[in-house]
Amino acid sequence: MPNRNKILLVPEFSSFGGTRSYFKALLKLYSSQNYEVVIALCKYQLDDDIKSLLKQYKYKVYLIPSREEGIKKYLRYFPINLFFDIIYIFPIYRKEKPSLIVISNGTPGMFIGLILFPVNFIYTFHTYPLKGKFIFLATLQKLFLSLCLNRGKIIITVSEYSKEQIVNFWVPRVKSNHIGVIYNSVKEELFIDDLSQKKHVDVHRILTLGHVTWYKNPKLWIEVAQEVIRQRPNIPLEFIWAGEGNLLDECKEMVKQIEFIKFIGYQSKVDSLYNESTIYFQPSLLENHSISVVEAMAHGLPCVTSDSGGLPESVVNGETGFTCSADNVNCFVSCIVRLLDDNELRTRMGHSGRLRAETLFSEEVQHQKMINLYTSLLHQ
């Protein structure tokens, strides 16, 4: 018989980023509810930080191989990944007999084989499907998910935009109540209680956090930074991008002769970056629901972002910041310059953003929605 309070968690996450933050939030939530939890992890995920958390919460861990250790890059694609799930995860399910399986991932199609297991199931999706060249495989994925979700399985995603994309691209015949939206959250301690107490800064920092990779649009970011500096030579400015990624070295090379534009790599402590910044800037080409953006809002920063994906669900254009088309350099430049020139506007948008983050994106709001969902599934 399944254990009515036992959860099998199968998370995908890397050394930093939104999926890692979400995994940590789940551990905290499960502990607060006294759930019994077993976790399937790859060895590469067990860095010192994660090991410390697992020891703190005393969760049982099963090691599974990474997919690259199997059939290299093809193992991530349907239907091959079905075999991976059955071979490596089904034995864990059979031994532990959980009443709920929770998947958290950012790779379309990964771990969908677990939908076959005869147990309640939450598939938490941190991105959204894109039409790719593997048309046959995508068609199989759509058919498979449609059949399984119509049997009562649930997808959770982190923006209304993502839900719309999943319905349109993957599962058009699935009832909407099988796909839910629970936004990413901000830890309560990250909210600035009194924005008027933010210290005066001698240099206006425009901050960006995230992977330095193509979909975050770093080359346009550099172009915007150069133009803002050119237009406001008398304002002390610096553009800072914190994060790792495959384009980090190339971007560092592009700006090595520019003193006020810096790529500083991964930073484990980001509170000081937010606290010492004036504006948050994120021109992503693709984005589901950026944790960095809502953390910036919690810190009272007006945000200038693209209007891609779920970003407009966080940043209300003209109210908590500005949104622009992801390819519109002039729009980004004019919005940043406008904020730099108007202290009252920055303050007003910062206050509005903090209020919106507290109302929609606080950890308390997210956890209550998740508890309601889990309770309904664990007690069926």
Sorted by where each begins, the domain ranges of the chain are 3-185+363-378, 188-360
Q: Which residue, chain included where needed, has tokens 């995920």?
A: 45
Q: Which residue, chain included where needed, has tokens 């059979």?
A: 94
What pLDDT is attached to residue 323?
98
Whole-number Å distance between alpha carbons of 355 and 193: 11
Q: Calculate the dihedral angle through the C-alpha atoms of 367, 160, 104, 13, rounding to the nearest 10 degrees.
A: -100
Rg (the chain; Cα; Å): 21
pLDDT band at 254; cut points 50, 70, 90: very high
Q: In this model, does residue 130 exceed pLDDT 60?
A: yes
Range with the lowest mean pLDDT among 116-120, 188-192, 258-262?
A: 188-192
Q: In this model, does residue 224 exceed pLDDT 80?
A: yes
Q: In this model, does residue 258 exceed pLDDT 80?
A: yes
- CA dihedral for 354, 355, 356, 361, sign (positive or negative): positive
Average pLDDT over residues 342-370: 93
Taking the CB of residue 148, how many other CB atoms lie within 10 A of it? Answer: 20
Q: In this model, does residue 178 exceed pLDDT 70?
A: yes
What pLDDT is attached to residue 58?
92
pLDDT band at 166; cut points 50, 70, 90: confident
pLDDT band at 215; cut points 50, 70, 90: very high
- In the CATH scheme, what is the code of domain 188-360? 3.40.50.2000
Whole-number Å distance between alpha carbons of 205 and 277: 5
Q: Is it true that 3-185+363-378 and 188-360 share their CATH fold?
A: yes
Q: Pick the most confident of 67-71, 123-127, 225-229, 255-259.
A: 225-229
Q: In this model, does residue 93 exceed pLDDT 90?
A: yes
Whole-number Å distance between alpha carbons of 9 and 287: 24
Q: Is the peptide bond before 65 cis (omega within 30 degrees of 0)?
A: no
Q: In this model, does residue 283 exceed pLDDT 70?
A: yes
Average pLDDT, the chain: 86
Q: In this model, does residue 137 exceed pLDDT 60?
A: no
Q: In this model, does residue 327 exceed pLDDT 70?
A: yes
What pLDDT is attached to residue 194?
63
Whole-number Å distance between alpha carbons of 219 and 355: 32
Angle at 63 between CA 60 and CA 66, to 5 degrees: 145
Kindly state the percentage of the chain with pLDDT values over 70. Answer: 83
What pLDDT is attached to residue 165?
84
Residue with more model confidence, 132 or 202: 202
Q: Tell me if the domain spanning 3-185+363-378 has CATH number 3.30.10.20.
A: no
> What does residue 375 show for φ and ψ, rounded to 5 degrees?
-60, -45
Kindly state the percentage of the chain with pLDDT values over 90. Answer: 59
